[in-house]
Amino acid sequence: MNSTSILLGRILALSAGSLLWVSCASSTAPEASDEVAEAPAADAAAELIPVKAGHLVALDMAPLFVGVESGCFEENGLAVETVAFTNPGDNNAALAGGSIDFSTNPFTLPFFAANSGVPIKTVAAAGGWGVMQVIINNEYGVESIADLVTFVSENPDKKLKIATLRGDTLELILVDAFEAAGTSPDAFEMVYFDDLLAMVEAFRGGQVDILSHIKPYTTQFVASGEATVLTDNAEVWSPTTPNTVVSVLDKTLSDRPEVVEAYIKGMQCSAEIINTDPAKAIELLKGGNYYRVDDEVLLTAFETQPSPITFTPDLEAVQAVVDKMVELKYIESDVPAKDIFDTTLVKSLE
């Protein structure tokens, strides 16, 4: 089942609700001398606002992860609990159903949600540019999309297999890159997955020839000499076209704008760490099982981003991709990006 159908099904299945938060107190009273010393810390913890943040495994989710491990969110008054998903549709459905407060997901997914009647608002890019990459097994000697077109024309009996996600940014980057090069996805065998890590294993095992995926997972194949980068989203779209974005329900933005602001500030705090000291960021990330790659690979992924992490996305480029989604009939009507994205807050903070 692809991510689109999962999303549509689970949005209907999940009922809207709110999170119940229960704080626990110690049953043993502290001694008088301890009470004075521990009171400020206890009061600070009690004042933290708990939120749940859904995410996948992309490099541009590092600001969320580093924010948790560094204390950046706590400094801004939030206790952030991360909730991992392997499928973008599940992530979106969880936001629609109210089981998470923030969803970090490919930027195409909020448009699916809006088309299904979910009152959603995208408030920022997730943080990180040029993290989407199309890579090919080195055995073919292909080093660019132009080389790939030549290979296809010279080998009409061999249809290369491409791993991607249907209706996702990982498919749309292929559509646009091939169109610009004068070819079509029809020239290849498209293999659609609904699990990001399963795609990586399929490429590793030689079941597919080309992988449309994300850093640091693409980085590990390039660093090991197994694959070559054909293109990335910075080249196909623009340097500040996001892979993933941060979305909330309309109600969260309208009723709790201070929480949304605190969340963005927490990400900005962690982005500063990644931008200025990526080695420190990697050390912090050891506090959780976030990425299944070596530290050296993760450092390379950070250091090869085309520009420092910021959070204001290129909405014109996003709109062009959304237009393509309508053309492909992934969404019923063209929902203007300006109606889904509300970047007023992040622009004021940047």
Element (DSSP H or E) covering residue 127? none
Which residues have CB under 8 Å from 123's CB, separation 6+?
246, 247, 248, 253, 260, 264, 341, 342, 343, 345, 346
> Do residues 121 and 342 touch, judged by C-beta distance below 8 A?
yes
> Do residues 209 and 140 touch, judged by C-beta distance below 8 A?
yes
What are the start-end ranges of the E strands in the chain? 49-55, 78-84, 102-106, 120-125, 132-137, 161-165, 189-193, 210-214, 227-232, 244-249
Within 13 Å of residue 132, how many CA atoms lie on the same side as its CB?
28
Q: In DSSP terms, which residues pair with 125 in a beta bridge?
A: 245
Q: Strand 120-125 and strand 244-249: pairing?
A: antiparallel
**Residue type at 343 in one-letter notation:** T
> Do residues 115 and 301 touch, judged by C-beta distance below 8 A?
no
> Do residues 89 and 4 touch, judged by C-beta distance below 8 A?
yes
Reduced to 3 states (helix: H, G, I; strand: E, B; else coil), residue 307 is: coil
d(CA 68, CA 131): 21
Residue with tokens 């989710």, as numbered in its chain: 61
**Residue type at 133 in one-letter notation:** Q
d(CA 87, CA 184): 26
Note down pLDDT in tens along the chain; length 350 residues.
444 444 444 443 333 333 222 223 333 333 334 444 444 444 555 699 999 999 998 999 999 999 999 999 999 999 999 999 988 899 999 999 999 999 999 998 999 898 889 999 999 999 999 999 999 999 999 999 999 999 999 999 999 999 999 888 899 999 999 999 999 999 999 999 988 889 999 999 999 999 999 999 999 999 999 999 999 999 999 999 999 999 999 999 999 999 999 999 999 999 999 999 999 999 999 878 788 899 999 999 999 998 999 999 999 999 999 899 888 888 877 778 888 999 999 999 98
pTM of the model: 0.81
